[in-house]
Chains A and B, each alone.
Chain A
Amino acid sequence: MTKFSEKDVLLRIKDLQIQGYSEETWIDIIKGVDLTLHRGEVLGLIGESGAGKSTIGAAAMGYARDGTRISGGSIEFDGMELTTATEGEKRALRGSRIAYVAQSAAASFNPAHKIIDQHTEAPVQYRIQKRMAAQEDAMELYERLRLPNPGEIGFRYPHQVSGGQLQRAMTAMAMSCRPDLIIFDEPTTALDVTTQIEVLAAIRDIVDQFNTAAIYITHDLAVVAQMADTIKVLLKGEEVEQASTEQMLSNPQEEYTKSLWAVRSFQRDQKSRPTDGTPPIISVKNIDASYTGSAKVLDDVSFDIYPGMTVAVVGESGSGKSTTARCITGLLPPSKGEILFKGEKLPAKYTDRNKDQLRQAQMIYQMADTALNPKVQIHEIIGRPAQFYSGLKGGDLKQRVDELLDLIELDPAKYYYRYPPELSGGQKQRIGIARALAAEPEFIICDEVTSALDQLVAEGILKLLDRLQQDLGLAYMFITHDLATVRSIADEVVVMQQGKVVEQGPKDEMFTPPHHPYTDLLLSSVPEMDPNWLTTLLEERGVDNVGEAADVNQDPPDGKAEDEPTK
Chain B
Amino acid sequence: MSAFVFGYYAFLILASVILAYVEWRKWFMMVFSLTLISFVLGIVGGTPALRAVATFAIVLAVAAMVSYAFKEFLIQLAKPNLAKELRTAPLTAAFGMFVIFTYAIAGIFAPVIAPHGEAEVIAGAFAAPDANMLLGADQLGRDIFSRIIYGARNSVGLALVATLGAFILGALAGLLAAVKGGWFDTFMGRVADVIMSIPSLIFALLMLSILGTATWVIVFVVAIIYSPRVFRLTRAVAGNIVVMDYIEAAKLRGEGDWYLIRREILPNSMAPLIAEFGLEFCFVFLLIAGLSFLGLGLQPPTADWGSMVRENATLISFGDVTPLIPAAAIALLTVSVNFVVDWMLYRSSGLKEQ
A→B interface (CB under 8 Å)? 21, 24, 66-67, 329-331, 350, 353, 355, 358-359, 361-363, 365, 367, 370-376, 380, 384-385, 388-389, 435, 439
A21 touches B354 (CB 8 A): yes
The reply to whether B264 and A350 form a contact with Cβ atoms under 8 Å apart is no
Is A358 a contact of B249 with CB atoms below 8 Å?
no
CB neighbours of B245 from chain A (8 A): 365, 367, 370-371
CA–CA, A67 and B87, complex, Å: 18
Cβ-neighbour of B253 out of A372, A380, A385 (below 8 A): A385
Bound-complex Cα distance A330 to B251 (A): 11
Considering the complex, give the chain B residue whose CB is closest to the CB of A372: B246
Q: A21-B354, A388-B254 are in contact. Are A374 and B249 (CB under 8 A)?
A: no
B79 at the binding interface (Cβ < 8 Å): no
Assuming the A-B contacts A66-B354, A365-B245, A367-B245, are A374 and B253 also in contact, with contact meaning beta carbons closer than 8 angstroms in the complex? no
10 tightest Cβ-Cβ pairs between the two chains A and B: A375-B267, A371-B245, A373-B246, A365-B245, A370-B245, A358-B254, A370-B244, A375-B268, A329-B252, A371-B246
Taking the complex as formed, is B352 at the interface, i.e. its CB lies under 8 A from any CB of chain A? yes
6 contacts between A and B (CB under 8 A): A350-B252, A362-B252, A371-B246, A372-B246, A373-B263, A376-B267
Q: What is the minimal beta-carbon distance from B110 to any residue of chain A, in angstroms?
A: 38
Query: Which residues of the partner chain B approach A384 to less than 8 Å between Cβ atoms?
Result: 253
* Interface: B193 (CB within 8 A): no
**Nearest chain B residue, comparing its CB with the CB of A447:** B245
How many of B's residues come within 8 Å of A, CB to CB? 17
Interchain CB contact under 8 A, A439 and B253: yes
User: For residue B253, which residues in chain A have a CB less than 8 angstroms away from its CB?
Assistant: 358-359, 384-385, 388-389, 439
Q: Which residue of B87, B245, B267, B354 has the most chain A CB atoms within 10 A of its CB atom? A: B245
Which single member of A67, A361, A380 contacts B252 (CB below 8 Å)? A361
Near A by CB (< 8 A), chain B positions 252-277 give 252-255, 263-264, 267-268
Give Cα A370 to B253, complex, Å. Answer: 16
A437 nearest CB across to chain B (Å)? 13
**CA–CA, A374 and B354, complex, Å:** 25
B320 at the interface (CB under 8 A from A): no
Separation of A353 and B254 alpha carbons in the complex (Å): 9
CA distance A24 to B83 in the complex (A): 13
Pick the contact of A363 from B244, B252, B352, B354 — CB < 8 Å? Answer: B252
Contacts of B87 in A (CB 8 A): 24
Q: Are A331 and B352 in contact (CB under 8 A)?
A: no
Is B120 part of the contact surface with A, judged by Cβ < 8 Å? no
Looking at the assembled complex, report how far the CB atom of A361 sits from the nearest CB atom of chain B, in whole angstroms.
7
Contact (Cβ within 8 A) A373 B354: no
Q: Which of the residues B246, B263, B354 comes within 8 Å of A370, measured between beta carbons?
A: B246
Residues of B within 8 A of A375 (CB): 267-268
Q: Point out the residues of chain A lying under 8 angstroms from B252, CB to CB.
A: 329-331, 350, 358, 361-363
Is there contact, CB below 8 Å, between A371 and B249?
yes
A355 in contact with B254 (CB, 8 Å): yes
Q: What's the Cα separation between A47 and B146 when bound, in Å?
A: 70
- Give the residue name and chain of the B residue nearest to A358 (CB): B254
Hey, which chain A residues are within 8 Å of B251, CB to CB? 331, 350
Q: B352 contacts which of A67, A329, A370 (Cβ < 8 Å)?
A: A67
Are B255's CB and A388's CB within 8 A?
yes
Inter-chain contacts of A439 with B (CB < 8 A): 253
Is the Cβ of A373 less than 8 Å from the Cβ of B352?
no
Q: Is the interface of A mostly helix, strand, loop or mixed?
A: mixed
B255–A373 CB distance below 8 A: no
Q: A350–B165 Cα gap in the complex (Å)?
A: 36
**A362 contacts across to B, CB distance below 8 A:** 252
In B270-299, the 8 Å CB interface with A consists of none
Q: Which of A359, A367, A375 has the most CB of B within 10 A?
A: A375
Interface hits, B46-91 → A, CB 8 Å: 87
**A329 cross-chain contacts in B, Cβ below 8 A:** 252
Complex CA gap A355/B256 in Å reads 12
CB atoms of B267 and A363 under 8 A apart: no
A-side contacts of B246, CB under 8 Å:
370-373
Do the beta carbons of B254 and A374 come within 8 Å of each other?
A: no
Which of A355, A362, A373, A380 has the most C-beta atoms of chain B within 10 angstroms of its own C-beta? A373
Min distance, Cβ B232 to any Cβ of chain A, angstroms: 23
- In the bound complex, what is the Cα–Cα distance between A380 and B252 (angstroms)? 17
A24 to B84, CA, bound (A): 10
Separation of A375 and B264 alpha carbons in the complex (Å): 8
Residues of B291-323 contacting chain A, CB below 8 A: none
CA–CA, A359 and B255, complex, Å = 12
Pairwise interchain contact B255-A376, C-beta atoms closer than 8 A: no
1/0 contact string of B223-257 vs chain A (CB within 8 Å) = 00000000000000000000011101101111100
Determine the residue in chain B with the shortest Cβ distance to A438: B253
Least distance between B91 CB and chain A CB atoms (Å): 18
- Minimum distance in angstroms from A296 CB to a CB of chain B: 23
Instruction: Provide the bound-state CA to CA distance between A369 and B268, in Å.
Output: 14
**CB neighbours of A365 from chain B (8 A):** 245, 249
* Chain A hits for B263, CB < 8 A: 373, 376, 380
In the bound complex, do residue B268 and residue A66 qualify as a contact, i.e. CB atoms below 8 Å apart?
Answer: no
In the complex the two chains form, what is the Cα distance from A389 to B253 in whole Å? 9
How far apart are the CA atoms of A355 and B253 in the complex, in Å? Answer: 8
A residues near B352, Cβ cutoff 8 Å: 66-67
| A435 adjacent to B354 (CB under 8 Å) | no
- Are B268 and A373 neighbours in the complex by a CB distance under 8 Å? yes
**A448: min CB distance to chain B, Å:** 12
CA distance A365 to B253 in the complex (A): 14
Binary per-residue interface labels of chain B (323-350) against chain A in the complex, 1 for a CB within 8 Å, 0 otherwise: 0000000000000000000000000000
In the bound complex, residues from chain B placing their C-beta under 8 Å from that of A67 are 352, 354
- Known contacts A374-B268, A376-B263, A331 near B248 by CB under 8 Å: yes
- State the CA gap A376–B251 with chains docked (Å): 16
Complex: chain A residue closest to B246, CB-CB: A373
Report Cα–Cα, A329/B252, bound state, in Å.
7
Q: How far is the CA of A389 from the CA of B264 in the complex (A)?
A: 18
- Collect the chain B residues with CB atoms within 8 Å of residue A66's CB: 352, 354
Chain A residues with Cβ under 8 A from B254's Cβ? 350, 353, 355, 358, 388
Instruction: Tell me, in angstroms, the Cα distance from A372 to B267 when the chains sit together.
Output: 13
Seed contacts A331-B252, A370-B246; 7 additional CB < 8 Å A-B pairs: A24-B87, A67-B354, A350-B254, A372-B246, A373-B246, A373-B263, A375-B268
A450 to chain B, nearest CB (A): 16
A353 vs B253: C-alpha distance when bound (angstroms): 10
Distance from B249 Cβ to chain A, minimum over Cβ atoms (Å): 6
Nearest chain A CB to B258 CB, angstrom units? 14
Distance from B26 Cβ to chain A, minimum over Cβ atoms (Å): 19
Q: Is the CB of B249 within 8 A of A363?
A: yes
Closest to B88 in A: A24
